[in-house]
């Protein structure tokens, strides 16, 4: 081996060691790796720039960008409210079916983020009995299609880099469906082993919110339980104001009537959840003020609005703002927001108009605390277009009528033109860390090839593994990837293992497809550790789970998943 080959190998080994044994972010490690390769002249800047325009990478970026617009729609949220029922068996399978099917087309991390609150807030089953299954269902669903998880697109980008046409949209489907449904059944059988405890207490400050039930609301004529008003994320229905009377506590069997005023307490930034319920409107939404931001203020002790109600003040005209919620530390408050007497020290969450910051009376009456981000509600036609456009782009790509990149590019542009998304949102949501990881991994693979390390390893391996059973080679690549993904992130594991798989394929003169699929499936198979996959980390952080809780359930799931995938890959391709 010459100096160049040793240099690249040392950088490669340092990258893996840093990912496993340090707490540094993968993006920083791959950025340092790329910089070292360029400085040591093992890689040209032009080659790095070429990797940045890789078709698979561009498709992944576009998919993540448009997913933020899909997250604004109400479909998943509305279905999520209906997951929980009195039967645990029913709740488990409704949760699994919704999560598994949604994750096949949508970003599985976003799916878990949307469904975790209804599960956490439910009062019928211990959340710990459903949160790990929620994460595993999202992981399994993500392996069903090309776009289900970022690891599939990362491996696709490597295939394209090596001159392969890449995956077809449904190359994963038969394997992912079989493994996913088999593991779902095993997960249900193992569910008694899941611990029983409540979710973590949230540390947000509880505000009081109200919403009016319109005559045409979908809530009218159904009970609180039937409307799933007890499964709202971080919001709790505490009172109903009906014809001037306050009804508290609110029983699950109480039937909602038109013109009821529902009083909630909880995390006011989750007010967008109420906006997802047809025919339920807040004051600020009715007055056209509820946009992307909420401003939190404290009423000053010199304020002229002290000891007056919101209605008496004429709040909207006076400040160009609407009161979304109110909080009073040290004292419980109840009743209609508009009829509450304001006091110095009250916290108000305001939906503000364009003139709010320009009004001279704002500084005299309030101390501005902070701005909080909420999700802007889409109009009905915008929601319909968001789903229609996305499904059209996917169908065209799946049927090879239009490339995935082309379809997503036009779809993203149409979202901006129709004001469903904005350029500022797109810039804010660019997945820079993921881009750095993938470009760094592609650049490392390029350096391994250019320096001749791949060719050398092929020459060295050929006499050793020339007679090896291809199935053993497939199992070896899969197991190595699974072990790596439990120590580092799934994306990093896929990026690091593909060059190994490619070298082995070259040495044994085998088809690349089963090995590429094995790397993709194994990189997503993070069931044993809570740290290897984003969805595991989300439910781990939202609960009192221990590492052993994941290992106890995840080990048999991982073994079954691997056996099904490897058996089918060997049968289909080898």
Q: What CATH superfamily is the domain 207-266?
A: Regulator of K+ conductance, C-terminal domain (3.30.70.1450)
Structural contact between residues 118 and 83, judged by C-beta atoms closer than 8 angstroms:
yes
Q: How far apart are CA 63 and CA 71, in angstroms?
A: 12
- The larger pLDDT score, comparing residue 198 to residue 67, is at 67
Nearest-5° Cα angle at 394, 393 to 395: 95
Q: Which two tokens stand for residue 515?
A: 């090995």
- The larger pLDDT score, comparing residue 115 to residue 557, is at 557
Residue 531 DSSP symbol: S
Q: Which residues, in sequence order, are bridge partners of residue 80?
A: none
Place of tokens 């996305």: 390
pLDDT of residue 428: 78
pLDDT of residue 254: 92
Name the pTM for this structure.
0.75
Compute the average pLDDT of residues 161-188.
Answer: 92
* Distance from chain centroid for Cα 257: 35
Q: How far apart are CA 385 and CA 140, in angstroms?
A: 28
SS3 state of residue 208: strand
Q: Which two tokens stand for residue 465?
A: 């593994």
Compute the average pLDDT of residues 66-80.
Answer: 80
Would the pLDDT of 3 be above 90?
A: no
For residue 274, what pLDDT band results from cuts at 50, 70 and 90? confident
Compute the average pLDDT of residues 463-467.
Answer: 67
pLDDT of residue 331: 64
Of 365, 369, 370, nearest to 301 (Cα)?
365
Place of tokens 């025919």: 279
CATH of 293-373 among 3.30.1640.10, 3.40.50.1110, 3.30.70.1450, 3.20.20.140: 3.30.70.1450
pLDDT of residue 230: 76
Q: How far apart are CA 481 and CA 213, in angstroms?
A: 53
At 337-386, the pLDDT tens digits run 778 888 888 888 888 777 887 788 888 888 777 665 555 567 888 889 99
- The larger pLDDT score, comparing residue 145 to residue 275, is at 145
Structural contact between residues 194 and 129, judged by C-beta atoms closer than 8 angstroms:
yes
State the CB neighbour count (10 A cutoff) for residue 472.
10
Residue 354 DSSP symbol: T
Mean pLDDT of the chain: 84
CA neighbours closer than 13 Å in the CB half-sphere of residue 163 = 2
Q: Write out the residue limits of the CATH 3.30.70.1450 domain(s) in the chain.
A: 207-266, 293-373
Q: Mention every residue, 6+ apart, whose C-beta is less than 8 A from residue 472.
A: none
Measured CA distances, 225 to 255, 455, 562 (Å): 9, 65, 41
Q: How far apart are CA 566 and CA 570, in angstroms?
A: 6
Compute the average pLDDT of residues 404-423.
Answer: 91
Would the pLDDT of 490 be above 90?
A: no
Structural contact between residues 223 and 252, judged by C-beta atoms closer than 8 angstroms:
yes
Would the pLDDT of 287 be above 80?
A: no
Structural contact between residues 558 and 524, judged by C-beta atoms closer than 8 angstroms:
no
pLDDT of residue 372: 56
Q: How far apart are CA 412 and CA 421, in angstroms?
A: 8
Task: Tell me if the bond preceding 442 is cis, omega within 30° of 0.
Answer: no
SS3 state of residue 352: strand
Compute the average pLDDT of residues 486-490.
Answer: 77
Q: How far apart are CA 298 and CA 344, in angstroms?
A: 8
pLDDT of residue 330: 58
Would the pLDDT of 108 be above 70?
A: yes
What DSSP string runs through 413-456? HHHHHTTSS-HHHHHHH--HHHHHHHHHHHHHHHHHHHTTHHHH
For residue 289, what pLDDT band results from cuts at 50, 70 and 90? low
Greatest mean pLDDT range, 32-41, 240-249, 377-386, 459-468: 32-41
Percent of the chain predicted with pLDDT > 70: 93
pLDDT of residue 285: 61
Of 221, 218, 223, 264, nearest to 240 (Cα)?
264
Percent of the chain predicted with pLDDT > 90: 28
The pair phi, psi for residue 80, each rounded to 5°, is -65, -35
Of 305, 290, 406, 396, nearest to 349 (Cα)?
290
Lowest mean pLDDT among 46-50, 233-237, 304-308: 233-237
Give the 3-state secondary structure percentages of the chain, helix then strand then coil, rounded to 5.
Answer: 55, 10, 30
For residue 418, what pLDDT band results from cuts at 50, 70 and 90? very high
SS3 state of residue 323: strand
pLDDT of residue 459: 74
pLDDT of residue 205: 59
pLDDT of residue 288: 53
At 290-339, the pLDDT tens digits run 555 678 888 887 788 988 888 888 888 888 888 888 887 656 676 777 78
Lowest mean pLDDT among 79-83, 265-269, 495-499, 527-531: 265-269
Would the pLDDT of 537 be above 90?
A: no
Q: How far apart are CA 241 and CA 250, in angstroms?
A: 10
Compute the average pLDDT of residues 96-106.
Answer: 93
Radius of gyration of the CA atoms of the chain, in A: 27
Would the pLDDT of 279 be above 80?
A: yes
SS3 state of residue 322: strand
Structural contact between residues 487 and 528, judged by C-beta atoms closer than 8 angstroms:
no
Q: Which two tokens stand for residue 148?
A: 């289900």
Q: Which helix (H) or strand (E) holds 265?
A: strand 261-266
At 186-201, the pLDDT tens digits run 999 999 999 987 665 5
pLDDT of residue 101: 94
């Amino acid at each position: 081996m010459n100096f160049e080959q040793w240099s690249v190998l040392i950088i490669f080994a340092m990258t893996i060691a840093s990912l496993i044994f340090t707490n540094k972010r993968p993006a920083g490690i791959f950025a340092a790796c790329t910089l070292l390769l360029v400085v040591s002249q093992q890689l040209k800047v032009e080659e790095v720039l070429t990797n940045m325009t890789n078709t698979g990478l561009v498709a992944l970026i576009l998919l993540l960008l448009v997913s933020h617009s899909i997250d604004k729609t109400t479909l998943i949220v509305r279905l999520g409210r209906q997951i929980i029922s009195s039967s645990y068996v029913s709740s488990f399978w409704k949760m699994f079916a919704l999560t598994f099917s949604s994750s096949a087309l949508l970003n599985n991390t976003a799916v878990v983020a949307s469904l975790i609150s209804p599960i956490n807030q439910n009062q019928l089953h211990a959340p710990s009995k459903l949160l790990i299954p929620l994460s595993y269902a999202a992981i399994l669903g993500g392996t069903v299609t090309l776009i289900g998880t970022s690891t599939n697109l990362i491996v696709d980008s490597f295939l394209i880099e090596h001159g392969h046409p890449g995956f077809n949209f449904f190359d994963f489907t038969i394997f992912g469906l079989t493994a996913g449904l088999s593991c779902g059944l095993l997960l249900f059988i193992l569910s008694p082993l899941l611990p029983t405890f409540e979710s973590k207490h949230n540390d947000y400050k509880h505000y009081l919110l109200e919403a009016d039930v319109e005559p045409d609301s979908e809530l009218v004529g159904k009970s609180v339980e039937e409307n799933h008003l007890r499964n709202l994320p971080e919001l709790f229905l505490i009172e109903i104001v009906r014809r001037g009377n306050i009804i508290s506590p609110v029983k699950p069997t109480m039937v909602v009537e038109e013109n009821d005023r529902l009083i909630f307490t909880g995390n006011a930034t989750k007010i967008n959840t109420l906006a997802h319920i047809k025919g339920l409107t807040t004051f600020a939404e009715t007055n056209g003020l509820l946009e992307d931001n909420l401003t939190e203020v404290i009423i000053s002790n010199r304020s002229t609005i002290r000891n007056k109600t919101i209605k008496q003040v004429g709040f909207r005209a006076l400040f160009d703002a609407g009161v979304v919620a109110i909080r009073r530390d040290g004292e419980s408050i109840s009743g209609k927001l508009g009829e509450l007497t304001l006091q110095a020290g009250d916290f108000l969450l305001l939906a503000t108009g364009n003139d709010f910051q320009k009004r001279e009376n704002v500084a005299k009456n309030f101390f501005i605390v902070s701005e909080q981000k909420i999700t802007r509600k889409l109009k009905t036609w915008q929601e319909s277009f968001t789903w229609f456009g996305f499904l059209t782009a996917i169908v065209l790509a799946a049927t090879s009528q239009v490339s995935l990149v082309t379809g997503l590019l036009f779809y993203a542009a149409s979202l901006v033109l129709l004001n469903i998304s904005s350029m500022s949102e797109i810039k804010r949501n660019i997945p820079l860390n993921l881009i750095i990881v993938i470009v760094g991994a592609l650049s490392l693979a390029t350096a391994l090839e250019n320096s001749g390390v791949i060719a050398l390893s092929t020459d060295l391996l050929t006499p050793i593994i020339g007679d090896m059973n291809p199935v053993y080679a497939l199992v070896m690549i899969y197991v190595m990837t699974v072990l790596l993904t439990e120590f580092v992130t799934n994306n990093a594991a896929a990026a690091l293992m593909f060059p190994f798989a490619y070298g082995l394929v070259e040495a044994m003169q085998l088809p690349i497809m089963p090995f590429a699929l094995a790397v993709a499936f194994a990189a997503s198979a993070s069931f044993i550790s809570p740290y290897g996959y984003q969805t595991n980390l989300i439910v781990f952080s939202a609960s009192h789970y221990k590492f052993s809780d994941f290992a106890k359930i995840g080990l048999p799931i991982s073994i079954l998943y691997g056996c099904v995938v490897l058996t089918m890959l060997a049968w289909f391709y080898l």
